Amino acid sequence: MPMNLTTIYALKEWLVAINALETGKTIMLLRKGGIHENNGRFQVAHEQVLLYPTYEHQQPFLLKSEYADLVCPVTSGWHPETIPISSWAVITDILPISEESTVNALLPFHIWNESFISDRLKWKPRQPLYVLLLRTYKLPEVQEIPYLSQYGGCKSWIDLAQPINIAGATPVLSDSHYSEIVNEIRKIVRGCRLEVTG
């Protein structure tokens, strides 16, 4: 990794999901797109992104029980005065999925429950659910940045007002461990697609 590498690009995600990525409990995010996405569709703006934690829309009832207990509910519109940025990630795979059976087959690999999957697939049913696989890196130190109003709203991608140095970040999972999980997920997705088309 080059020295003095900085970036301003960030992906917004629930704090509980970022914690799971940072501890190696998952490498997967599921996205359909925020209300304010370009053309109302989810698009991956950048492959290398800082992970920006959000608090307001975390819903414990959409999470598996071991993750639901980690959510601290906040009032609508609440946000901290400063945002802790403690990791960045490379999005290595973007897998569009439309079949509920495929996402259910991936249940062991992510933090959400069946209710979340069903809810996401029913919302904008003509659009696929996107499975994102992320290789996560922990920053040497947590970077606290001021919250700005431009960071709010239902959007996935934001540009930070100040760059974050990601040099010296260390991968959460080894190359071999990450590749092993990715290959398992790809195999499930390919297998389910063959069943549907066959």
pLDDT tens digits, 25-65: 999 999 875 534 555 556 787 889 999 999 877 888 889 99
Cβ-based neighbours of 57, under 8 Å, separated by 6 or more: 14, 154
* pLDDT above 70: residue 194: no
Distance of CA 169 to the CA centre of its chain: 18
Predicted TM-score of the model (pTM)? 0.88
In sequence order, the β-bridge partners of residue 94 are 132
Dist CA 60 CA 112 (whole Å): 9
* pLDDT above 90: residue 1: no
Among residues 80, 47, 89, which one has the least CA distance to residue 151? 80
CATH (residue range 6-197): 2.30.130.30
